Chains A and B, each alone.
Chain A
Amino acid sequence: MSTLTPTAQPTTGSFRGIGDVKLVGRQVWYEQLSFWLNPVGAVFTVGFSLVFLLLLGATAGNSRTAIYGNIKLTQYYVPGFVAYGIMAACFNILAITTVNRREVGLLKRIRLSPLPTWVLLTAIIMSSMIISVVEVVVLLAVGRFGFGVHGPASVGAFVLAIVVGMISFSAMGLGMSTLVPNQDAAGPIVSIVFFVLLFLSGLWYPINPHSGLAKVSAYMPVRHMITAVFAPFNLQKGASPWEWHDLLVIALWGLAGAIVAVRRWEWAPRRLSS
């Protein structure tokens, strides 16, 4: 046995300046490629929220809702499905694909390549954000031209709401992925959690803010996301488009998701660990 003395000259640290920033851009490109090359995934993610909006919009016709100052129901659905689209892309899809990547061994292999973890995670979250933005644009366009729904009155508040939502729900999605034991369970578990929360949060029908249901879902992030996106459309007289309370709750949930993700993160397939 020769003496065990280090002779190589390793570069220290995991950040190497501008080269790494380019690496993030490259990785985002390949994440996007992988997403859009899978037609089923792409259609389901973007198409689902669109189909929901079209169906509910068509059913609603010209009916109005009394809860938010007698507005057209479609004027409620468009921001609602913008919120849904963001949550679906950042939470639902991200959680399921992350479980798949882990269980197939893709996360492990990437861990053993020189790609730094922060570059990977930044790229994954940015990629989910790009998908969300595509959805938002499609939904706003359909709302505008299909149902005559006007866009957000306060663009600043709208952008802030969707950015906070995208980052926080991505963190929750990554956290959620660590709670799912295997690939087969990923779709069912994540979707059940997601759709129950959606149901409780009045996506398909406006719920009275003073109802018992609203009080329960006040502790959950989904309802806050819907109201935070809804507010910038500034439909109620005298109401502020900046829903700081909602954004705070969403951000706290995002923080909780990030903490769970960091504490429970595993690179290797969980089905193989003894």
Chain B
Amino acid sequence: MPAVAVRNLAKSYGDKQAVRDVSFEVEKGEVFALLGPNGAGKTTTIEILEGFRERSGGEVETLGVDPANRASQRWLRCHIGVVLQELAVEPYYTVRQVLSRNAGYYPAPRPIDEVIALVGLTEKADKRIKTLSGGQQRRLDVGLGVIGNPELLFLDEPTTGLDPSGRRDTWNLIRQLAADGTTVMLTTHYMDEVEALADRVAVLSGAQIVAAGTPVSIGGRDSGAVTIRFALPDGVSVTDLPVSGCTLDEGQIEIHTEDELRVLHDLTGWAIERDLTLPGLAVVRVTLEDVYLQLTREDRDTEATRS
């Protein structure tokens, strides 16, 4: 049984279709990312999976139960953890107090000190929450998400608004949770976050999934054309090179090819024979960002027309 199964999910607010015909599955133990621009339907989808919002159509299962079913809602909430997009902290409690309070809501919570250590707040355990930095508050927020020892953790844009070191800390925390066997479903609009964390990713754009796969293969990234790039060695002209289809721009050679192995072989063999170097030699694959921007172009265009 997958941790999350979604089939033909639809949600509309009045005339506005927030999500339409979305289908995907999240396997137990994996880190699954929903990637998409603001307003693409990420939060709506995740809120339906949590049982916070009702869907308009389609089928959804979270940990084997329908999240909209009131009879099983309390059971479901004992087994999921949620970290919301907005930082929601109560300033006057200490870190330990708020974690203790929330631990009491769950039938089998994690030990408080274990969670405090996990989120790296041991030294701040008895300090008021209002004295913590933004990054520390965010980590406490994640701590509150995992205090119930959830099988499945939802993270809605967990690093939005964090500085680089705060992001790095949160990533490490998510990796650690995933390594402990927690299934993680996160939303994000950062490509590097997907590459750093996700086993699989689905791209939401204009209320629909436009692509899904692993971060390395999505949108055909692992196949297709690459760009080989290097600086033209001194005393060599473009016509001397053993490959065709080269372009020269300010001393930089670029070769677009679908046959990277052969081109590289010819090129490097040729250079070694002549005792030449190929300064800055690099094989550049389409970045996830390129794929993402291409996939979400339509959504952005409609956005631009609207505004």
Contacts and interface: CB of A to CB of B under 8 A. Distances in A.
Contacts of B90: 34, 106
Given A1-B25, A6-B65, A114-B105, A34 B13 contact: no
B61 A10 contact: no
Nearest to A274: B13
B76 A6 contact: no
Interface in A90-120: 104-106, 108-109, 111-116
Please classify the interface of chain B as helix (H, G, I), strand (E, B), loop, or mixed, using the class held by over half of its residues.
mixed
A109 B84 contact: yes
A8 interface: yes
A37 interface: yes
B69 to A, nearest CB: 8
B84 A8 contact: no
Nearest to A26: B104
A114 B101 contact: no
Contacts of B101: 26-27, 30
B165 to A, nearest CB: 24
Given A37-B92, A108-B84, A10 B13 contact: no
Interface string B37-71: 00000000000001010000001010111100101
A268 B52 CA distance: 9
B76 A10 contact: yes
B286 interface: no
B13 A108 contact: no
Contacts of B86: 104-105, 269, 272
Given A1-B23, A109-B144, A116 B63 contact: no
B230 interface: no
30 contacts: A2-B1, A2-B25, A4-B5, A4-B61, A6-B61, A8-B75, A10-B69, A10-B71, A12-B71, A13-B74, A14-B74, A26-B101, A30-B93, A30-B97, A33-B93, A34-B92, A37-B92, A37-B128, A38-B91, A38-B92, A105-B88, A106-B88, A111-B52, A112-B82, A113-B77, A113-B148, A114-B74, A114-B78, A114-B106, A116-B74
For the complex of A and B, 5 pairs with smallest distance between CB atoms: A10-B72, A10-B75, A105-B88, A37-B92, A8-B64
